[in-house]
Every structure is written in C-alpha cells, then in structure tokens.
Structure 1
Amino acid sequence: MTDTPLLKVRNVSKFYGSRIGCSNVAFDLWPGEVLAIVGESGSGKTTLLNCLSTRLMPTTGTVEYHTRDGSYRDLYRMSEAERRFLMRTDWGFVHQNPADGLRMTVSAGANVGERLMAIGDRHYGKIRETAGSWLERVEISTDRIDDQPRAFSGGMRQRLQIARNLVTAPRLVFMDEPTGGLDVSVQARLLDLVRGLVNDLGLSAIVVTHDLAVARLLSHRMMVMKDGMVIEQGLTDRVLDDPREPYTQLLVSSILQV
C-alpha cells in the first residue's frame, strides 16, 4: 500500500425527500485495500455503494479519486463521458445478479473482449487469446468461450462477470452482494477465487454484503451501517471479534454462530 489514498470520501449523504439513504459518510480507501460495507437490508449500504461508484448522485458530499496521472479528481464534477470511461477501464462493478453485468446474448469470449476493445485493443486474435486465458483464470473451460452466458449456471455467470471486470486490470472494483443467491458450496469457491484474484492483482475493492462471513474472508477493513449511518468501523477482525456497538454485537452474535 502507498501513503496516498486511492479514494477520499467526505460527508457523502443521499436523501430521498425526508428518507435517509445514507448520511455523512467519510473514509479513505487505500491502494490494495478491501473495504466491506455491512448491515441489514435497508441499512443504506447499497445506496452508499451506488453513490461511490457514481451510479447515483449524492445530495451532499465529495468523492475524490486518485487518477493514474497522480492527480485527484472530484467524481461528481467529472463529465458523464469521463465517468463512463472510468467505469470501462479503471473500475469494475460486480452485480449481485450477473445478468445485470453481462450481455446475455453474446458469447462468453465477447463479454470479456468488449472491455478490451473499450481500452483500444483491436487485434481479434489477441483479444480472443486474452479472453480465453481469463476464462481459465476464473475456472471456466476455454471450450465454452463461444457459449452465451444464458447457457451457464449462476456460479459460472458470476465468474464470467468477474473476468469481464478484471480483464482491463482495474484499480478499483465495486461488488454488490457478489455471492448473493448462490448455493453455499458455489459461494465458497467463488469467494476463494475472488480473494486470490484481489491479492494477485493488488486490487482495491469495496464490497457490500449482509454476510459477515464474506466480510471476514475478503476484507481488511469493515464499516457497519444502520439507518443510513456508519455506526462502527475498523479492521475487520477487530470489529468481528470485539464489536463495540450494541447493534454490531447483535449482528455478530446472530450471524457468526459456529
């Protein structure tokens, strides 16, 4: 990790009329760090993720991103085209439902290759070769490269979505309940895969999950949300092993019964 944050989040709030989506959230995210945002359904974690990834404009606050040229840019002051370019190249977004992050009517290879074309690759042979090597990396047989995602199982679709996101070597990946809706055995393999890729690539990631076991396995640091507010944050093991807030204690005792 360097001594320069990749993301500087300051006082981000999102209000829907009188209803709070998230309120006054502030933190730094460091290169190579995985941050888990946890909480029950309706706690505001997905609203916050959508604000951080510019899918949703906050009511107040700033998010500054440390770009590859070494300068900080306020994400909300970027043009729409600049933000789209960032999402296609430097960032990834892994949806809970892989169908939201894939083009279901084109081949697995084309799903991965599209991201490469977005950063200027034009050599068909090289694009196909890179797509094939990424399919292998996420444990999809290369003989499925011409199959469409709708022919894949849920776990395979999620692995394909991960390959599509990581092929451009992004610096930051957002994940929204990446193991939601998958069988327990499939979840375990997927989490193992994600943890290995994040470590190998030195990625920064922000992972939204209601599953504290996922947070423990993937993240270095954790933020607990309730009613749109961050009520506790710290190193993941510290928060889970010695929770300070009564709400966090309740979450831990109800979910981490082993």
Structure 2
Amino acid sequence: MTDLPLLSVRSATRLYGSRVGCEDVSFELYPGEILAIVGESGSGKTTLLNCLSCRMALTGGSVSYRMRDGAMRDLATLTEAERRFLMRTDWGFVHQNPADGLRMRVSAGANIGERMMAVGDRHYGRIRQTAEDWLGRVEIPGARIDDRPTAFSGGMRQRLQIARNLVTGPRLVFMDEPTGGLDVSVQARLLDLLRSLVGEMGLSAIVVTHDLAVARLLSHRIMVMKEGHVIEHGLTDRVLDDPQHAYTQLLVASILEV
C-alpha cells in the first residue's frame, strides 16, 4: 500500500426525502486495500456503495478518486463521459445478480472481449485468447467460450462476471453481495477465487455483505452500518474478535457456531 489514498470519502450523505439512506460517512481507501461494509438489510450499505460508484448522486459530502495521473478528483465534478470511461477502465462492479452485470444474449467470450474493446483493444485473436485465458483463471472450461451465460449455472455466471470485470486490470472494484444467492459450497469456491485474484492483482475493493464470514475472509478493514450511519470501523479481525458497539456484538453473536 502507498501513503496516498485511492478514494477519499468526506461526510457522504444520501437522503430520500426525510429518510436517511446514509449519513455523514467518512473514510479513506488505500491501494491494495479491501474494505467490507456490513450490516443488516436497510442499514444503508448498498446506498453507500451506489453513491461511491457514481450510480447514485450524493445529497451532501464528497467522494474523491485518485486518477492515474495522480490527481485527486471530486467525482461530482466529472463529466458524464469521464464517469463512463472510469467505470469501463479503472473500476469494476460485481453485482449480486450476475445477470445485472453480464450481457446474457452474447457469448461468454464476447462478455469478456467487450470490456477489452472498451479500453481500445481491437485485435480479435488477442481478445479471444485473453478471454479464454481468463475463463481458465475463473475455473470455466475454455471450451465454453462460445456458450451464452444463459447456459451457465449461477456460480459460473458469477465467475464470468468477475472475469469480465477484472480483465482490464481495474484499480478499484465494487462488489455488492458477491456470494449472495449461491449454495454454501459454491460460495466457498468463489470466495477462495476472489481472494486469490484480488491479492494477485493488488486490487483495491469495497465489498458490501451481510455475511461476516465473507468480510473476515476478504477484507482488511470493516465498517459496520446501522440505519444509515457507521457505528464501528476498524481492522477486520479487531472488530470481529473484539466488537465495541452493542449492535456489532449482536451481529457477531448471531453467527452460528459450526
């Protein structure tokens, strides 16, 4: 990790009329760091993720990102074209439902290749070879390169979505409940894969999850949200092994001992 933050969040607030989506959230994310945002349904974690990733406008506060030239830019000041370019190149977004992050009517190879073309690659042979390589990296047989995601299982679709996001070497990946809706055995394989890829590529990531086991396995730091507010924030092992806030203690205590 470097001394300079990749993402700087100051008093981020999103209101829905009189209802709080998230309020007064501040933190910094550094290169190579994984932050987990946890909390029950309605805690504000997905609203915050959508604000951080420019999918939703802030009501107040700011989110700044360090561009590749080293300049820190307030995301609210970017043009729509600049934002779209950032989302196609520097950022990835892994949806809970892979159908939201894939083009279901084109092949697995085309899903990966489309992302490569967004950063200017036009060499068909290289695109196809890279797509096949990435299918192997996410444990999908290369022979399935011309199959559509509609023919894949839920776990395979999620792995394809990860390949599509990571093929361009993004610097920051947003993940919204990446293992939600998958069988426990499929979840475990996917988490191992995510952890190895993120570590190998030195990515920064923000992971929203209600599953503390996912947070423990993937993240360096954890932020606990309740009713739109951050109530505890610290190193993952410290927060989960010695929670200070009564709500965090309740969350940790609710994990069934196997």
Q: Percent identity?
A: 78
Q: Is 1:5 aligned with 2:19?
A: no
Check conservation: 1:4, 1:30, Cα contact below 8 A.
Answer: yes
Counterpart position of 1:127? 127
Q: Which 4+ residue blocks in structure 1 deviate beyond 4 angstroms? A: none
Give, in angstroms, the shift of residue 256 of structure 1. Answer: 5.0
| 1:240 corresponds to 2:250 | no
Tell me by how many angstroms 1:179 deviates. Answer: 0.1
**Residues 202-240 of structure 1: CA distance to partner in whole angstroms, max 9, x if unpaired?**
000000000000000000000000000000000000000
Q: Deviations over 1:50-107 (max 9, x none)?
A: 0000000010011110110010011111011100000000000000000000000000
Relative to 1, partners in 2 of residues 1:181 and 1:64: Cα closer, same or farther, differing over 3 Å? Answer: same
Distance 2:256 2:92 in 1: 29
- Checking the alignment, whether the CA contact within 8 Å between 1:11 and 1:25 is kept in structure 2 is yes
Native 8 Å contact 1:138 1:160 kept in 2: yes
Specify the alignment match of 2:114 in structure 1: 114
CA–CA distance in structure 2, aligned partners of residues 255 and 92 of structure 1: 30
Moved more, 72-81 or 202-211: 72-81
How many Å apart are 1:36 and its aligned residue?
0.1
The alignment yields a C-alpha RMSD, in angstroms, of: 0.5
Shift of 1:255: 1.7
Unaligned runs of 5+ in 2: none
Q: Which residue of 2 aligns with 1:174?
A: 174
**Do 1:213 and 1:256's aligned partners in 2 also have CA atoms closer than 8 Å?**
no
| Total equivalences in the alignment | 258
**Distance in 1 between the 2:143 and 2:72 partners?**
43
1:29 Cα offset (Å) = 0.1
Q: Map 1:1-258 onto structure 2 (within 5 A).
A: 1-258=1-258
Q: CA deviation at 1:257?
A: 2.8
**What is the CA distance between 1:162 and its match in structure 2?**
0.1
- Structure-1-length-normalised TM-score: 0.99
CA distances 1:156-202 after superposition (whole Å, capped 9, x unpaired): 00000000000000000000000000000000000000000000000
- What TM-score comes out, normalization by structure 2 length? 0.99
* Structure 2 CA distance for aligned equivalents of residues 5 and 14 of structure 1: 23
1:172/1:204 contact within 8 Å kept: yes
